A and B are shown apart, each in its own frame.
Chain A
Amino acid sequence: EVQLVESGGGLVQPGGSLRLSCAASGFTFSSYWMTWVRQAPGKGLEWVANIKHDGSSKYYVDSVKGRFTISRDNAKNSLYLQMNTLRAEDTAVYYCARWELAMGQYYYIDVWGRGTTVTVSS
C-alpha cells in the first residue's frame, strides 16, 4: 500500500525551529517529486515547497523562502522540512504529498499523508 506518514509537529515558540519528517512506503520513493502543503486553521490549502527526485531542484512559496528547507533521503525513503524562524502565521497542518506525472507532461498530487500539526505560539 502506498503510504505517507508525517511526524515532527508540535508546539514551538515564535522564532523557534522544527523539523518535519515524512516516511514513504509502498512505492519507489526516489522516482518522484515530493511536496509539502499546509493548511492553517479554518483556511485553504497552501503549497509550500517541492523537491525533485534526486534533490537537485527545490522550490518554495515566497513566504517561507530563506526560513524553510525541503530535503530528502532516498536511502531512507524520507522527506523532510526544516522550519526556522517560525512565525505565528506558520501555524498549520502540514501535509506531505507525492507528485505524479500524467501523459508525460502534467503533474498532479496523487498521494497525501494525513498531516502533522505545527503550532507557533508563546
Chain B
Amino acid sequence: QTVVTQEPSFSVSPGGTVTLTCGLTSGSVSTTHSPSWYRQTPGQPPRTLIYSTNARSSGVPDRFSGSILGNKAALTITGAQADDESNYYCVLYLGSGIWMFGGGTKLTVL
C-alpha cells in the first residue's frame, strides 16, 4: 500500500529557510494529488496553510509557500520565526475516494 512520507523532524535557525517535503512510497506527487499543508501545535486543532499545491490559505503570511520539487510536494518557510515551531502535515488524494496524511514533520526553530 502506498504511504505518504514526510521528514520526522527538521531544524532551522531563526531567519533561515527550510523546505519540508511530502512524498509517496510509490510514484511521484503531482498536482492531481491535490497536496495541502497544515500546521498544528500541541492541544490545538490543525490550521490550513497551503492548498492546491501552492495557494496560501487566508491569513497565512507569504513566508509560507508550496510547490512541487522533483517528485514531492514541498512546503518552504522563509525567514523562520520562533512561533513557526510546530508540527506540519501534508495530505494527498490517492484516488478512489481515499486520502492520506503524511506522518508529520516536527519543526524546531533554534
Contact = CB atoms under 8 A, between A and B. Distances in A.
A4 B88 CA distance: 22
Which DSSP category, helix, strand, loop or mixed, fits chain A's interface?
strand
Nearest to B98: A59
B97 A45 contact: no
Nearest to A110: B48
Contacts of A110: 48, 51, 57
B45 interface: yes
B14 interface: no
Question: Interface size for chain B: under 10, 10 to 19, 20 to 34, or 35 or more residues?
Answer: 20 to 34
Contacts, number: 65
A113 B45 contact: yes
Contacts of B98: 59, 61
Interface in A23-48: 35, 37, 44-47
Interface residues of A, number: 25
B97 A103 contact: no
A50 interface: yes
14 contacts: A35-B99, A44-B87, A44-B101, A45-B40, A45-B104, A47-B99, A50-B97, A61-B98, A62-B1, A107-B34, A108-B36, A108-B91, A112-B45, A114-B45
Interface of B: 1, 31, 34, 36, 38, 40, 45-48, 51-53, 55, 57, 87, 89, 91, 93, 96-104
